[in-house]
Amino acid sequence: MTDAPLVQVTGLRRVFDVSKPWLDRVVAREPRQTLKAVDGVSFEIRRGETFALVGESGSGKSTVARMVVGLLPPSAGEVVIDGVSMTDRKDAARRARLRRRIQMIFQDPYASLDPRWRVGDIVAEPIRAFNLARDRREVEHRVGEGLKLVGLDPADARKFPHEFSGGQRQRIAIARALAAESDFIVCDEPTSALDVSVQAQILNLMRDLQDRLGLTYLLISHNLAVVRHMATTIGVMYLGRLVEVSPARDVFAAPRHPYTRMLLDAVPDLAMSGRPRTPVQGEIPNPIAPPSGCTFHPRCGLADERCRREAPATIEGVACHAVAEGRAGAARPARAAGG
């Protein structure tokens, strides 16, 4: 193992065309409309760590995840995993080999398992796709091992997904993701569709597997309690941009970007410590017509003329004029997520 990061994302950008159909546009004399879902996102993930992307709905977290695994081609920028570019045409052959090592766990375990397939076939699909077993018996053996690994019975392989609960289905999805011996798993809101009582089980299973198999996670979540439980590094996204990247401990102990502070202040406190809880101010703006300059300025208490005019550069992991100019004050400790 080397010290080089496993995943390097540079200047990732994705623009969606949300224009009306051609004829409507010509009749109404409207220009094309585009939506910058992701704009200039860069980060690195080291081996064995859990990088969490947090942000409100519509901040572009899931779009980043889909581009990282290669389900969605980026409009610009590059994703390099273990030295192989996921976006460069020349690396096609190496990318095909790399594909086995990258897997994704989806948000909705009711949609991510083919309802017509038996669990055994679902888990075996990556094994068969990458020719990892010599014959049927070996495939069945590995499927059984995989199901045991996530705490299910090998006999469950004969059942259909609808015979399982949400938490069990997510376990099946994890077993499938690990079936091809992948070491980089992108988890897109892996617990947000589950009952609270089951969420912790799944998260603990994911951590346990990370320790045993040396997995690297890219965790997408809007739930700060989940992120606190899992993440080693946190990237905070706002309207398609990464506004803060810091080690998880620092984010919860001393959030720097005003948006991060706002998110943390809004977290309900289970301990009922009487800490004043500030609800999140305003809503995320329309990404089709984002605000000028720093896109957070309409919601930011520290915004001044410069913030409205120019977009901030990322300095030491924070993209904020106020922080760069020292106007934000000392990074104040925030009591964080009640998890």
For residue 137, the minimal CB distance to another protein (Å) is: 4
For residue 71, the minimal CB distance to another protein (Å) is: 6
Residue 259's nearest CA partner among 283, 275, 276 is 283
CA distances from 149 to 139, 145, 209, 295 (A): 15, 6, 8, 44
For residue 232, the minimal CB distance to another protein (Å) is: 24
Q: Which residues contact 45 (CB under 8 A, 6 or more apart)?
A: 5, 6, 7, 51, 216, 218, 233
Q: What would the DSSP string read from start to end of 89-122? A: GGGHHHHHHHHTTEEEE-S-TTTSS-TTS-HHHH
Distance, in Å, from the CA atom of 307 to the CA atom of 321, rounded to the nearest integer, reads 7
For residue 116, the minimal CB distance to another protein (Å) is: 4
Helices (H) and strands (E) in the chain, counts: 12, 10
Residue 111 or 313: which CB sits closer to another protein?
A: 111
Residue 127 or 248: which CB sits closer to another protein?
A: 127
For residue 9, the minimal CB distance to another protein (Å) is: 18
Three-class secondary structure of residue 194 per DSSP: coil
Distance, in Å, from the CA atom of 326 to the CA atom of 121, rounded to the nearest integer, reads 57
Residue 157 or 337: which CB sits closer to another protein?
A: 157
Distance, in Å, from the CA atom of 172 to the CA atom of 163, rounded to the nearest integer, reads 12
Three-class secondary structure of residue 296 per DSSP: coil
Residue 122 or 209: which CB sits closer to another protein?
A: 122
Strand partners, 80: 8, 85
Residue 29 or 116: which CB sits closer to another protein?
A: 116
What single-letter DSSP state applies at residue 281?
P
Which stretches of the chain bind another protein, using CB under 8 A?
Answer: 69-71, 96, 99-100, 102-104, 106-108, 111-117, 125-126, 129-130, 136-137, 140-141, 153-155, 157-158, 160, 162, 173, 176, 180
For residue 177, the minimal CB distance to another protein (Å) is: 9
Residue 185 or 336: which CB sits closer to another protein?
A: 185
Residue 81 or 225: which CB sits closer to another protein?
A: 81
Tally of residues, the chain? 339
For residue 49, the minimal CB distance to another protein (Å) is: 22
